[in-house]
Amino acid sequence: MPTVAFYDTKPYDKPSFEKYGEESGVSFRFFDAKLNGDTAELARGCDAVCVFVNDTVDAAVIDTLAAAGVKLVALRSAGYNNVDVRHAYGRIHVVHVPAYSPYAVAEHAMALLLTSVRRIHKAYIRTRDFNFSLNGLTGFDLHGKCVGVIGTGKIGRVFIDICRGFGMRVIAYDPYPAPDSGIDYVDLDTLFAQSDVISLHCPLTEQSRHVIDAAAVEKMKKGVVLLNTSRGGLIDDEALLEGIKSRKIGAACLDVYDEEADVFFEDRSGHILDDDMLSRLISMPNVIVTSHQAFLTEEALDNIAQTTVDSIRTFFEGGVCEHELCYRCGRMEDCKKERTRRCF
C-alpha cells in the first residue's frame, strides 16, 4: 500500500481523499505545512507526496524528496508552474489533475464579474447595516459588451459559453487556436483595444508571465474590467495598480495573486499584512479579491481526489499514468509518453 505525504492540508481536502484512499489502498499522512526546503524531510518513508498550488517543488526540494525515497509528486491541481519539471525529469515522476471542473473556475469568474459590475459586494454590506440607499451602486449591462478571453482551453471555453449566454460579443487570443470552435480569434493588441472585459484563462509560462503589463494596460479601453482566475504572475501588479489609479482600469477581480503563497488559504485576520501591494489592491473600492477559491466546489473536490488517488494507485501498480507530465508536455514531436507511455 503506497503511503503519501499530503502537504498543505485543509479541512475541506480530507474527506474526499480519505474516502478514495480507503477504496484504493492508498494511505495518507496529512501535514498542515506547505512543502518547501524546510518540510521536504517530512516525506521520508513515504512513497509519494501530494501537493497543491502554493507548495514549492523546486530543484532542491526534488533532490531531497528523491533522496528520501519519494517516487512520485502528485499535484492535486491543474497548473504546475510551481514544479521544476525539467529538474524532475529522470528523478521523480509528476502527475497532475488536468481537468476536475472547468465549470467551477469559469462560473467563479462570472460570479466575480457580476459582483463587480452590479456592485453586489457593496450592496450586501449596506443592507446588512439597514442602509437601503442606491447611491453609487450604478452598474452596467453585460449584454452587448465585448469580452476578450486570453486562453481558450477547457476553462476559457466554458467561460466563453457563459458569456455568450449573457449576450456578450466574444473575442479571444490563444497561440494554439481551437479549430472549428467558432471562436473569433484576434491578436492581443486587438483584444486589448476592443474588450470591455478581459478574462485570463491561460497557464503561467515564460511566454505568458506579465501578459498584462504597462504596455498592455496602455492599449486597453478606458474602464476595462480585468478578471484573473488563472495565475497571479500573468499580471504585473505595479502596472495594474497604476492602471487603476489612472482610472484606465475600471475594476479588477483577482482570484490569484503573484505573491499569494504566504497569504492565501490562511486566516490572517488580526494580523498586520506585510504585503503592501496586496493591501493597496484590497483597499481599492473597485478591486475584488478572493483567495484562490475558484476551484472550490463539491464536484471539483471530489474529482480532484478521485483522479489523484487513481493516478497514485496506477503508478505504484506499475501501470500507465494518463496524467503524467514532464517538461516535454505540449511538444508532441518528442513526447516519449506517446511511444512508451511513461515520461521516462
- Nearby residues of 300 by Cβ (< 8 Å), 6 or more positions away: 100, 101, 104
Q: Pick the closest to residue 118 from 140, 134, 101 (CA basis).
A: 140
CB of 304 to ligand NAI, least distance (A): 10
Residue nearest to ligand NAI (CB): 153
> Is there a catalytic annotation at residue 260?
yes
Tell me which H or E stretch contains 214.
helix 214-219
List the catalytic residue out of 76, 231, 323, 328: 231
- Nearby residues of 172 by Cβ (< 8 Å), 6 or more positions away: 148, 149, 150, 152, 156, 160, 183, 184, 185, 186, 191
List the catalytic residue out of 260, 323, 324, 328: 260
- Judged by beta carbon, residue 30 or residue 185, the one nearer ligand NAI is 185
- Judged by beta carbon, residue 115 or residue 313, the one nearer ligand NAI is 115
Interaction with ligand NAI in 104-163: which residues (CB under 6 A)?
Answer: 105, 150-156
| Residues in contact with ligand NAI, shown as a per-residue x/- string from 74 to 93 under the rule CB under 6 A | ----xx--------------
| Residues in contact with ligand NAI, shown as a per-residue x/- string from 14 to 43 under the rule CB under 6 A | ------------------------------
> Is there a catalytic annotation at residue 292?
yes
Q: Pick the closest to residue 252 from 199, 214, 174 (CA basis).
A: 199
**Judged by CB under 6 A, which stretch of 44-52, 169-177, 264-272, 332-340 contacts ligand NAI?**
169-177
Residue 230 · residue 204 · CB < 8 Å:
yes
Distance in angstroms (rounded) separating the CA atoms of residues 133 and 341: 62
Angle, helices 102-117/120-128, rounded to nearest 10 degrees: 70
Using CB under 6 A as the binding criterion, the count of chain residues that bind ligand NAI stands at 31
- Nearby residues of 257 by Cβ (< 8 Å), 6 or more positions away: 232, 237, 263, 264, 278, 281, 289
Is 229 a residue that touches ligand NAI (CB under 6 A)? yes
Amino acid found at 58: D
**Judged by CB under 6 A, which stretch of 20-28, 29-37, 172-180, 335-343 contacts ligand NAI?**
172-180
**Considering only residues 9, 195, 230, 306, which one is a binding residue for ligand NAI as defined by CB under 6 A?**
230
- Judged by beta carbon, residue 40 or residue 95, the one nearer ligand NAI is 95
Q: Give the pairing type, strands 27-30 and 287-289.
A: unpaired
| Residues in contact with ligand NAI, shown as a per-residue x/- string from 241 to 270 under the rule CB under 6 A | --------------xx--------------
CA 219 remoteness from chain centre: 25
Q: Pick the closest to residue 161 from 140, 144, 182 (CA basis).
A: 182
- Judged by beta carbon, residue 72 or residue 294, the one nearer ligand NAI is 294
- Nearby residues of 325 by Cβ (< 8 Å), 6 or more positions away: 80, 85, 94, 95, 96, 343
Is 279 a residue that touches ligand NAI (CB under 6 A)? no
- Judged by beta carbon, residue 11 or residue 175, the one nearer ligand NAI is 175
Is 294 a residue that touches ligand NAI (CB under 6 A)? yes
List the catalytic residue out of 87, 108, 157, 292: 292
DSSP code per residue over 78-141: S--TTB-HHHHTTT-EEE--S-S-HHHHHHHHHHHHHHHHTTHHHHHHHHHTT----TT-----
Interaction with ligand NAI in 187-226: which residues (CB under 6 A)?
Answer: 201-205, 207-208
* Footprint of ligand NAI (CB under 6 A): 78-79, 99, 102, 105, 150-156, 173-176, 201-205, 207-208, 229-231, 255-256, 292, 294-295
Catalytic residues: 231, 260, 292
